[in-house]
A and B are shown apart, each in its own frame.
Chain A
C-alpha cells in the first residue's frame, strides 16, 4: 500500500491515479497510523511553502513525515512536497521545512519567465540511482517559481537547465524528491514514478 499524504494542499487525485495505473494500491490519507503502516509514502503538494508547513504542523503530519523518513521506507516528495524536504524556504518570509535534506528553497530571480513552467530536459547526475534504472534522459513537466538548493552535491540526482542549473530530483537514502510532476510528465514521468514505487515492498497487482 502506498500512502499519499493529504494535508490539504493541492490535487492528489492525479498522483493517486498514476500510482494506481502503475499497478499499486494507494490511499489518500491524513491518518498517522495508515501512513506509518504504508510500504511507501508520497508527499505531494501545490501551493505556498509557508501554508503547507503550517498545515503539516497543525495536523502533526510534519512529525509523521519525519518519522516515516526515519523508518527507512521509501518516501517521495513531489513539487512543493520536494521543497518541503529541505531545511528552509524564503517563500513569503523565511519558513522552516521538514529538514530531511540540508539546503534551502529560493525564488527564481532574473530577466526570464517565472514560473518555470513547461517541459524541460533532465540531466541525470547520478546514473547509478535506482530511480534511473533502464531510463534515458528526457523531458518532464515543471511548474514552480521557487527552486531548491541542496547543500550537498551527493543529494542532487538530476537537474534541468533554466537560465541556471535547477534541482530536478533529489535523494538521500530512502528519501527522494522530484520538483516536476511525474504524474503529468508523459511516459518518462510514469517510468520515474514506477522506479520509485519499485523500491517499496508493496506488491504490484
Chain B
C-alpha cells in the first residue's frame, strides 16, 4: 500500500525562502536548496516550491534554484507559482522539477491542464485549488490570485473538472483553515478526496502532531503539506511520522 506523504512547502521569493505570516509579514527562513536538502534528510517525502516572485528576474532565479535543488536532493519536488504557459512548464521540468503546480492559470485557461498533461504526462501536473466555504451555497468556492479573487466556481466541481482534463494530483488548500493551526479542513478534504480518482494533498491548518493523523484517517488525504510548523521547528517530519506509525498509518 502507498505510504502517506508528508510534504514541506517552501515559499520562494527572488531565490530566498520566505513564509507569509498573516499575508503581510515575510520572514526570511534561508536558502531554498539548503533547506530542501535538510528536509530530504529529515524524511520529507516530497517538496513543494511556491515561487512568489513578482518580477521576471525573480522567476529566472527560480530556474537556478530548481537546477541546484535537482542536483542535491533524492526526493521528488513540485514547482508552482505564476506558471501560465506550457513553455514555462517545460523550462522547469527540464531544469529538474518533477511536477508543476498550476492554480490561477488553470482557472483562467483550463486547457492548460489538458495541454500540460498530454505533453508531459498527468503525473507532472498538480492543480492547486484554494477553496473557502461559501455559506450561501453550503459548499466551497474556488479562489484565485493567491486567495484574493472569488471565482463563482464550486471547488468540488472544479476538482472533478481538472481530473477530467488530466490533472495528476490536487493540492487542496483550505483558506478557512490556513494559518489557524487548528488542524486541516477535514470536511473539505474528505469531500474532495472521496469524489476523485487522483491523489489529494491537504494543505492549510497544520498546528499539532495529531492533525496529520486526522487528515489521513478521517479525511482520506493522500498527502499532507505544511510550512510554518516545519520551518520554525515546532515539530520535525520524523516526529510526525513516528506518531503516524504508532497510530497505524503507513509512512516511509
> Is residue A23 within 8 Å, beta carbon to beta carbon, of the partner chain?
no
Task: Name the distance in Å between A51's Cβ and chain B's nearest Cβ.
Answer: 11
In the docked arrangement, what's the CA distance between A116 and B3, Å? 11
Of all chain A residues, which has the CB nearest B123? A143
Instruction: Point out the residues of chain A lying under 8 angstroms from B109, CB to CB.
Output: none
Contact flags A11-53 to B (C-beta < 8 A → 1, else 0): 1011001100100000000000000000000000011100000
Could you say which residues of chain A place their CB within 8 Å of the CB of B197? 113-114
Does A141 count as interface, using CB distance less than 8 angstroms? yes
B98 sits at the interface (CB 8 A)? yes
Contact with A along B209-252 (1 / 0, CB 8 A): 00000000000001100000000000000000000000000001
- Determine whether B174 belongs to the interface, using a CB cutoff of 8 Å to chain A: no
Encode A148-192 as 1/0 by CB contact (under 8 A) with B: 000000000000011000000000000000000101111101100
Residues of A within 8 A of B5 (CB): 118-119
Whether the Cβ atoms of A141 and B94 lie closer than 8 Å is no
Contact A118 B2 (CB under 8 A): yes
CB contact between B252 and one of A115, A139, A143, A161 (< 8 Å): that residue: A139
Asked whether, in the complex, the Cβ of B74 is within 8 Å of the Cβ of A145, the reply is no
Contact of A117 with B by CB under 8 A: yes
Please name all residues of chain A whose beta carbon is closer than 8 Å to the beta carbon of B75 when the two chains form the complex: 141, 184-186
Q: Is there an interface contact between B2 and A186, defined as CB atoms closer than 8 Å?
A: no
Count B-side interface residues using an 8 Å CB cutoff: 30
**A120 contacts B by Cβ under 8 Å:** yes
Majority SS of interface residues in chain A? mixed
Q: Which residues of B contact A119 (CB under 8 A)?
A: 2-3, 5, 45, 252
- Contacting B74 at CB < 8 Å: which of A18, A46, A48? A18
Expressed in whole angstroms, the minimum distance between the Cβ of A171 and any Cβ of chain B is 22
Q: How far is the CA of A190 from the CA of B40 in the complex (A)?
A: 13
B192 CB, min distance to chain A CBs, angstroms: 13
Given contacts A113-B222, A117-B123, A141-B75, whether A161 and B94 have CB atoms under 8 Å apart is no
Which among B2, B74, B124, B199 has the greatest number of chain A C-beta atoms within 10 A? B74
CB pair B71–A186 under 8 Å, yes or no, is no
Give, as a whole number of angstroms, the nearest-CB distance from B195 to chain A. 12
CB distance from A69 to the nearest CB of B (A): 26
Given A184-B76, A186-B252, A113 contacting B1 (CB threshold 8 A) = no
Q: For the complex, is B127 an interface residue (Cβ under 8 Å from A)?
A: no
The answer to whether A116 and B70 have CB atoms under 8 Å apart is no
Nearest opposing residue in chain A for B2, CB measure: A118
CB < 8 Å neighbour of B76 from A48, A139, A141: A141
Residues on the B chain within 8 Å of A145, using CB = 122-123
Tell yes or no: B168 within 8 A of A by CB.
yes
Cβ contact within 8 Å between A113 and B198: yes
B74 touches A189 (CB 8 A): yes
Interface 0/1 of A114-139, CB less than 8 Å to B: 11111111000000000000000011
Is the beta-carbon distance between A115 and B122 smaller than 8 angstroms? yes
A121 touches B3 (CB 8 A): yes
- Complex: A119 Cα to B2 Cα, angstroms: 6
Chain A residues within 8 Å of B94, by CB: 11, 13
Query: Taking the nearest CB of chain B, how far is it from the CB of A128, in angstroms?
Result: 26
Residues on A with C-beta less than 8 A from B95 are 13
Which residues 66-100 of B have a CB within 8 angstroms of A? 67, 70-71, 74-76, 93-96, 98
List the 10 closest A-B pairs by CB distance, nearest first: A139-B252, A119-B3, A17-B71, A118-B2, A143-B123, A119-B252, A13-B96, A184-B76, A186-B74, A14-B70
